[in-house]
Amino acid sequence: MLYVFVEGVHITTTVSTQVDGMICSWYIPDIMDYTIDVNKYNLDLSGITSLVFELKTCGRAHILMSSSDVRNSAEPMYEIDIGFDTHKTYIIHRADDSLDSGSRMFSKFLTSNIFNCSVYLPLWISWADGDIKLGTGSVVDENVLEYLTSAPQFEVKAIGVLTDYGMLGSLKIQFEDNFIGYFDSCSMDNTKSDMVVVDDIKCSKSVCVVSCVMSRTCMGINFNTAMTSCELLSFGSDVVTDIPFHIEAGWRFYSKCFNVETACLGCYFDNR
């Protein structure tokens, strides 16, 4: 099970698993099939190079970062295998699912007291510049435990989490550039809203959403992924009875929501 909710800029994820035995990318070809898929909750992973999280578990935990947005285990991946034999941790790079010796590399180190059954312990992972690092605390690049150097680089497009031996694991994960609140896209693809544009910026979708959340006047965004173009939208001073749209290739309108997803403005007008 995976429960996700937004609290400030934190994504809290609770994971439980019934996987039996030892599971690891080193000897399981289809390892991604055993993981809980973080992407299924529409979290924006584009461009991230680090992960800050808190771990609470009685046993071994795994964080897998895949280059495949469809979780194809044959594609390159990194794995952080925390707490093997209670006191060891592995940082693994795997090029494919052949399990050939030349397709894998790892770094092994001692990590006593790396997990706790009742207390969340803060950890971070970084994979910038080909160095896959693991550290303690909530500040990336501080308190480094170990790293795997010169690993082939790729963009992380999917993240899977796993606790084996049927152990219950709980993770609180904070993603880069995540947002406060809830947005929904109630319109079709290639649809742009004609609300008042209060700002027009070049940025990622996550930064665009954050910018809108931080503005009281912003009621939604138009975003173009190919152009990384963001328009912050307002109703202006007029009484609003509808949200006007027009067809424009590559754009999509996202409406700000209130009371979680129960009152998304764009959906309200579309379905009134």
- pLDDT surpasses 50 at 180: no
| Confidence (pLDDT) at 234 | 86
Q: What are phi and psi of 58, to 5 degrees?
A: -90, -10
| Confidence (pLDDT) at 127 | 92
Residue type, 39: N
Mean pLDDT of 214-224: 84
- Out of 126-130, 140-144, 171-175, the most confident range is 140-144
What secondary structure does DSSP assign to 244-264, as a single string? -EEE-TTEEEEEEEETGGGEE
Question: Token pair of 66, please?
Answer: 């895949």
First to last CA, the chain: 34
Q: What are phi and psi of 239, to 5 degrees?
A: -75, 125
* Residue 101 burial (CB count, 10 A): 7
What stretch of H or E contains 148? strand 144-148
For the stretch 81-111, pLDDT in tens is 998 887 899 999 999 999 999 999 999 999 9
Of 209, 202, 191, 203, the residue nearest 266 (C-alpha): 191
What stretch of H or E contains 45? none
| Confidence (pLDDT) at 248 | 93
151: β partners: none
Three-state DSSP at 25 gives coil
- Average pLDDT of the chain to the nearest whole number: 81
Residue type, 26: W
| Confidence (pLDDT) at 8 | 32
For the stretch 23-57, pLDDT in tens is 999 999 999 999 988 776 545 576 788 888 888 88
CA distances from 86 to 109, 117, 153, 161, 180 (A): 12, 12, 29, 18, 36
Residue type, 205: K
Whole-angstrom Cα distance, residue 248 to residue 140?
A: 40
| DSSP summary character for residue 213 | H
Residue spans of alpha helices (H) in the chain: 205-213, 265-270
Provide the whole-model pTM: 0.63
Three-state DSSP at 186 gives coil
- pLDDT surpasses 50 at 177: no
Cβ within 8 Å of residue 260, ≥6 positions away: 182
